[in-house]
Amino acid sequence: MSKRKIVVALGGNAILSDSPTAEAQKQALKDTAKQLVKLVKNGDELIITHGNGPQVGNLLLQNIAADSEKNPAFPLDSLVAMTEGSIGFWLQNAMQNELTKAGIDKSVATVVTQVLVDKEDPAFENPTKPIGPFYSEEEAKAEMEKSNDTFKEDAGRGWRKVVPSPKPKGIKEIDAIQTLIDNKQLVIAGGGGGIPVVEAADGTLEGVEAVIDKDFASQTLAGLIDADLFIVLTGVDNVYVNFNQPDQKKLENVTVAELEEYIQQDQFAPGSMLPKVQATMAFVSEKPGSKAVITSLENLENLIESDAGTIITAE
């Protein structure tokens, strides 16, 4: 099999086990690294992205709990950067150790990544991404009165702060990432969707209170580095239609046109599978002849040996 440039987007299950402790998450990433290093052994060039939803939520809670005049809570862009650094370190360390065990002389580098978003993105006028703890309606209204934050009722479970989820437009560090790839480094980038920044007329950047969907950020990265394959790892081996129904159907080889039909039928949950499907569709549509795969970490070895998972192609 010829050498491929592969972007792998890790889902939360590749990082977070039942326990939110640092030790448990590091152990989960050690297990993840054992699977991912198989791609390197196969001769592939690997670029890894990852989510940070639970981690940034926990960090937000810690900041809220400790918030005071002497120890003020950090803004969301800084919390994303902090989780990019911590998860990046755990994953970088785990991958480096697995490469060493495999006798592969390759360095691993984590890039704290600023992802450009448009300050005119309609998402800023309609925040939808829930973050942080649940509040009662009274508590939420009190919070809104003393801040500029927006709170919305979340599926009958209470009220939560919501922030914008703008679409990624570019990656500021893309040249640095490409240089590392060109020098045969294994790169970790775009963690948690990257840190959302807007660019002023003079070219300066400023972080904004928002969360970028990590699947769309990963797809943007894959396109910019001209990846051959985009793999989105999640909790299931395949994408399904009519999920959990008697006529449930596993998707194995599927085209963009077929997926568009399924989206029209509301087959994919907006908060989970839909962005993964849309991101893979966008990747293969923009690069003729490429393919994307949605599958589980456990199914990765089958994917290396033969086609496995849900394989998405343009036609």
Task: Tally the C-alpha atoms within 13 A of residue 230's C-alpha that lie toward its C-beta.
Answer: 31
Contact 169, 195 (CB under 8 A): no
Number of continuous H segments (helices) and E segments (strands) in the chain: 9, 17
Judging by DSSP bridges, how do beta strands 170-171 and 5-10 pair with one another?
unpaired
Residues 6 or more apart whose CB falls under 8 angstroms from that of 289 comprise none
End-to-end CA distance of the chain: 23
User: What are the residue numbers of the active site?
Assistant: 12-13, 129, 214, 276
* Paired tokens of 315: 């036609």
Long-range contacts, stretch 251-260, CB < 8 angstroms, 24+ apart: 251/310, 252/309, 252/310, 252/311, 253/307, 253/311, 253/313, 254/310, 254/311, 254/312, 254/313, 255/312, 255/313, 255/314, 255/315, 256/281, 256/284, 256/285, 256/312, 256/313, 256/314, 256/315, 257/315, 259/312
CA distance 220 to 222: 5
